[in-house]
Amino acid sequence: DFYSLLSKLLGGRKEVVHVHKHNPTEKGESDLVAEIANVVQKKDLAREITNHDERDNTVLVRDRTQKFHRLESTLRPPENRHFSLQQSKHGEGGWEKEHKGDFHIEEVVEWTGLDLKLGQVSGLALDPENNLVVFHRGDHVWDENSFDSKFVYQQRGLGPIEQDTIIVLNPSNAKLLHSTGKSLFYLPHGLSVDKNGNYWVTDVALHQVFKLGAKDKEPLLTLGVPLQPGSDKNHFCQPTDVAVDPITGSIYVSDGYCNSRIIQFSPNGLYVMQWGEETSLGRSGPGQFCIPHSLALIPDLSQLCVADRENGRIQCFKLETGEFTREIKHKAFGRELFAVSYVPGGLLFAVNGMPYPGEAESVKGFVMNFSTGEIIETFIPLRKSFEMPHDIVASEDRTVFVGDVHAKAVWKFASVEKMEHRSVKKAGIEVQETKESETIAEARLKNKPESRDPLKNMDKQHLVQQASSTGVSFVLITTLLIIPVVILLVILVFIRWKKPTVYGADGERKLDSSSGRILGRLRGKGGGGINLGNFFASHKGYSRKGFDRLSTEGSDQEKDEEDGTDSEEECSASPLPPAPSSS
């Protein structure tokens, strides 16, 4: 009970249990019991403490007390995504409201299973290797002519289905891996796979339940009397689904279209008990069914959830006693809820039926928080459309398959996170590893911020150096080209200004003639000099003293040498081409 679980959680410390003893509400107690039982089972907190000193014992008790307080409050850290997902993986309802947007279910459009040639798809399941198992009706069809008013099958003359009715597909590419079930069934309906890989199926025409080995052509176990409907311990009436407890091996059968009950059998097929009754007129109370159509076993919590089809709801019961525990019902379900599937981690997946004329609720898939019953996601296919989705199955990595009995098709859906991180299967681990890798990457960037910066800085410096050197080269070349021209202009201006001043108007013609000869020499000898001493010595009253040869060649060389110190690694400017000499 509640306090025995609490005692186990806190390591058998009775005084601590006494401190925390209280009277919770009915719903809070059931939720807390489920969470504590789960922690005890999965986290091994009930381990007895032996051979430890007093200090270690005190620390462990304090840690467990903190865990109890964390379970007692329904709040979870809003930012601690690792904690939330890891707890929800093994708990009852880790997907609280703040995690509603953590993922989005979308159709996997590259899935080729939608194009398989199948009969009416009535059942889906996943085997221990997570391969998809499909149960279909081949060339047989359930229509208004299949049964009489007493639910006796009317088309026995057709014989059993001559195709393999159980096919095993690769969940990634829909490649056929295995098939069986030929010449065994008339109208297949429900399917489940136990922990050993055995197939458990129901046939509504035969009114029977079968256990088949993966490689066996004959049933290993048969329940019910062939083609005889009934309501006693040995008969079924159109049984819809079957589930096997992986812990105890107990068998649970939903029976069915013309009975409104759940029957429990021992692992050997012996009748144990049953519960349920037909829905009363105008009301549907706990434990009342109008076609219990699909089963979802929650072994961690010892519960069995039933898709109560025509009542449009999910009912859950205790496995040991069949006691009603809860109901999940939403307006979005509409009038019919066809199938339900549970995923460890606290998620329920379901599909509803087509709306009645005038009703707004559309056919779709649902993802629910098992703890709160809240719808946290809905989904529809992108290719084709749901017509009558008949069964649904989901894996721990939130990959979802939906089989449609009218469309004769199987869709595959996956969460956006799953599609982005395909290498990891389990949702909680997937997100944790992704977050850890991001943290490691961030840490490396923070610890080594200069790992790439030096290279970038070197590149930037190199580009700046190239740009600056290019600018310097252009200025140098331009300067070297302009300097000789400026010198010539200065000399010419000086001569033209000096001649009129010294000789007057009479000497203007001679000066022009002399300057013409000077220009001719300059043009004819690119590297030549100007001998002003000889020029002035030819005139009366002037001596050549102080006017020895003045050469522009030495001046230019000195300038080149000075400029060369700044641009020794740059390309030198090409010399000016010699101008044609005047004659």
Question: Which of 173, 104, 86 is CA-nearest to residue 414?
Answer: 104
Judge contact between 226 and 184, C-beta under 8 A.
no
Distance CA 338, CA 389 (A): 7
Distance CA 192, CA 133 (A): 9
Q: Is 227 annotated to bind ligand?
A: no
Q: How far is Cα of residue 438 from the mean position of the Cα atoms in its chain? A: 14
Q: How far is Cα of residue 364 from the mean position of the Cα atoms in its chain? A: 22
Judge contact between 337 and 389, C-beta under 8 A.
no
What residues pair up with 411 in beta bridges, in sequence order? 402
Q: How far is Cα of residue 449 from the mean position of the Cα atoms in its chain? A: 29
Q: Is 283 annotated to bind ligand?
A: no
Distance CA 205, CA 546 (A): 135
Q: Is 191 annotated to bind ligand?
A: yes
Q: Is 124 annotated to bind ligand?
A: yes
Distance CA 579, CA 583 (A): 12
Q: Is 313 annotated to bind ligand?
A: no
One-letter identity of residue 265: F
Give phi and psi for 211, each to the nearest 5.
-115, 125
Assign 325 to helix, strand or coil: strand
Assign 30 to helix, strand or coil: helix
Question: Which of 340, 262, 343, 260 is CA-nearest to residue 307?
Answer: 340
Judge contact between 334 and 340, C-beta under 8 A.
no
Q: Is 252 annotated to bind ligand?
A: no
C-alpha angle 241-246-252 in degrees, rounded to nearest 5: 30
Q: Is 330 annotated to bind ligand?
A: no
One-letter identity of residue 441: A
Q: Is 342 annotated to bind ligand?
A: no
Question: Which of 119, 200, 101 is CA-nearest to residue 160?
Answer: 119
Give phi and psi for 310, each to the nearest 5.
-75, -15
Half-sphere exposure of 328 (CA within 13 A, CB side): 25
SS3 content of the chain, % helix, strand, coil (to 5): 35, 25, 45
Distance CA 515, CA 374 (A): 108
Question: Which of 364, 330, 370, 363 is CA-nearest to residue 347?
Answer: 370
C-alpha angle 452-455-457 in degrees, rounded to nearest 5: 105
Q: Is 257 annotated to bind ligand?
A: yes
Judge contact between 246 and 299, C-beta under 8 A.
yes
Strands 277-278 and 288-289: parallel
Residues annotated in a binding site for Ca(2+): 124, 191, 391
Task: Could you list the residues known to form a binding site for a protein, using ranges.
Answer: 137, 257, 309
Annotated binding-site members for Zn(2+): 189, 293, 390
Indicate the annotated binding residues.
124, 137, 189, 191, 257, 293, 309, 390-391
